[in-house]
Amino acid sequence: MRKKDNTSAGKEFVIISIIAIIILSALVYLIQYISHLDFQMTNETTFQIFLLILVVRYYLPFFLFTIVLSLIILFLIHITKKR
């Protein structure tokens, strides 16, 4: 029974990390797509796009840190559940 619980906890951790990696790769792709767009639009939309790029550049490291921290905390919770 205990081994089954350990493997299920490991599977949950792997699934959560895979989802986090997919989300981060989608964000990176979005940044690349936005940076390669033609800026021949109205001033308002270009301002919104530049604001989005600014927010992503400054807050993406924070989000990365929080995702990694939450994964570590989940892993520690699973380790303590084993005992």
Q: What is the pLDDT of residue 1?
A: 44
pTM value is 0.39
Q: What is the pLDDT of residue 44?
A: 65
Q: What is the pLDDT of residue 33?
A: 72
Q: What is the pLDDT of residue 41?
A: 53
Separation in Å, CA 1 to CA 4, 7, 8, 67, 80: 5, 10, 11, 30, 16
Which residue stretches of the chain have pLDDT < 70?
Answer: 1-7, 9, 34-45, 83
Local structure of residue 36 (DSSP, 8 states)? T
Q: What is the pLDDT of residue 58?
A: 72
